[in-house]
Amino acid sequence: MDLLEMTNNDQEDQYKTTLNLVKRFVDSNQRKRINLLSEVESEVDNLFLIGKNLFDLFDKDGDDWAAGWLLQVLKKHKPNFFIDDNYNNWFSTYSDENINYEELQLKLLEQKFEEADRLTSSYLRKLAGKLAEKRGYVFYSEVNNMSGTDLQTIDRLWSIYSNGKFGFSIQAKLLKSVEKKYELLWPKIGWKNNGYWTRYPSSFIWSLDAPEGHMPLINQLRGVRLMDSILRHPAITLRHNNIL
């Protein structure tokens, strides 16, 4: 066996090892996945070389955050992977209102969460209608008429690119866990600390280190009815089997 053949065989073994690690990561539960993050990220050179074969494991219409996180790792360490622009918007998105969600997906992929949050607010105003866009905020009474398809798309993207930590349906799950008491939800998701509202935007945590449910933000200055309406929208409750 010549040196080149040995090198090729070694390389193939490395790829198989990395692919098996990724499959183990994908098949694990949430806790085990989190424990494997560093190990998988350390294999980024092989992830890059395996490239497109990695994403054969995933469904573009799905919401598996493992794929979102692998894309984020590649974006961070191997930006050349994204010469193929399709990977900047790898997950399929759908809209009843002809809204293009490519910018939101890209901001989340790049972990530019503050910018993604502002985009989300603008989408909610657009979904609420011309009057909401003109006044600059949404009334809770406008939420029921929002497109469920669009709300699910926004929620999916937030979940996909946050290791399953962020999104309306995650906030709904957490609200249920505190017996639907908003005064208990606020500190849990980091929107209140020692009885004081977290100062926007400087004191929010715009990273994956934020508490579960920390994003996207909903302005609470006019009370909880807007957020409650979003979290109870049928399209959001369906995302995790009628949470609320």
Average pLDDT over residues 136-145: 95
Average pLDDT over residues 122-138: 96
- Round the average pLDDT of the chain to a whole number and report it: 93
Instruction: Please indicate, yes or no, whether residues 54 and 117 belong to a single structural domain of this protein.
Output: no
Q: What is the CATH number of the domain that holds 204?
A: 1.10.10.1770
Give the Å distances, CA to CA, from 50 to 12, 68, 88, 104. 10, 16, 17, 27
* pLDDT for the residue 9: 66
Strands (E), the chain: 192-193, 196-197
Domain co-membership, 126 together with 62: no
Distance from first CA to last CA of the chain, Å, rounded?
Answer: 64
Examine the domain organization and report whether 181 and 213 are in the same domain.
Answer: yes
pLDDT of residue 14: 82
What percentage of the chain reaches a pLDDT higher than 70?
Answer: 94
CB contact at 8 A, 154 and 120: yes
Residues 220 and 116 in one domain: yes
Find out whether 44 and 81 touch, Cβ atoms under 8 Å: no
**Residue 44 main-chain phi, psi, to 5 deg:** -60, -35
AA identity, residue 222? R
Which among 187, 191, 185 is positioned nearest to 221, based on CA atoms?
191
pLDDT for 2 equals: 42
Distance from C-alpha of 221 to C-alpha of 140, rounded to nearest angstrom = 13
In a domain, 97, yes or no: no
pLDDT at position 239 = 87
* Structural domain count of the chain: 2
Residue 111 in any domain: the answer is yes
Would you state the pLDDT for residue 102?
98
Could you say which of 89, 111, 126 is where a domain stops? Answer: 89
In a domain, 244, yes or no: no
Same domain assignment for residues 77 and 122: no
Averaged pLDDT for residues 8-15: 74
| pLDDT at residue 240, as a whole number | 74
Rounded CA-CA distance 147/144 in Å is 8
Give me the amino acid identity at 243: I
Q: How far apart are CA 243 and CA 163, in angstroms?
A: 19
DSSP-assigned letter for residue 91:
S
* 175 and 153 within one domain: yes
Chain segment 82-120, per-residue pLDDT in tens: 999 999 999 999 999 999 999 999 999 999 999 999 999
What integer pLDDT is reported at residue 5 of this predicted model?
43
Which of 44, 64, 89 is at the close of a domain? 89
- Span 184-194, average pLDDT: 96
- Residue 179, φ and ψ in degrees, nearest 5: 60, 35
Helix (H) or strand (E) holding 130, with range, is: helix 130-135
Q: Which two tokens stand for residue 169?
A: 């349906």
Tell me which residue range forms the domain holding 171: 102-239
Lowest-confidence segment of 2-11, 98-107, 139-148 by average pLDDT? 2-11
Among 54-63, 129-138, 220-229, where is mean pLDDT lowest? 220-229
Q: Indicate whether 226 and 116 sit together in one domain.
A: yes
What torsion do the CA atoms of 127, 132, 137, 139 make, to the nearest 10 degrees?
-90
Instruction: Specify whether 140 is located in the same domain as 44.
Output: no
Please state the rounded mean pLDDT for residues 185-209.
95
Residue 231 has pLDDT above 70, yes or no: yes
94 falls within a domain: no
Last residue of a domain, one of 66, 89, 112: 89
* Tens digits of residue pLDDT in 24-45: 999 999 999 999 999 999 999 9
| pLDDT range class, residue 241, cuts 50, 70, 90 | confident
Q: Please, which residues have CB within 8 angstroms of residue 87's CB and are 6 or more apart in sequence?
A: 55, 71, 74, 81
Per-residue model confidence (pLDDT) at position 178 = 97
Which pLDDT belongs to residue 10?
Answer: 65
Q: Which two tokens stand for residue 179?
A: 């017996």
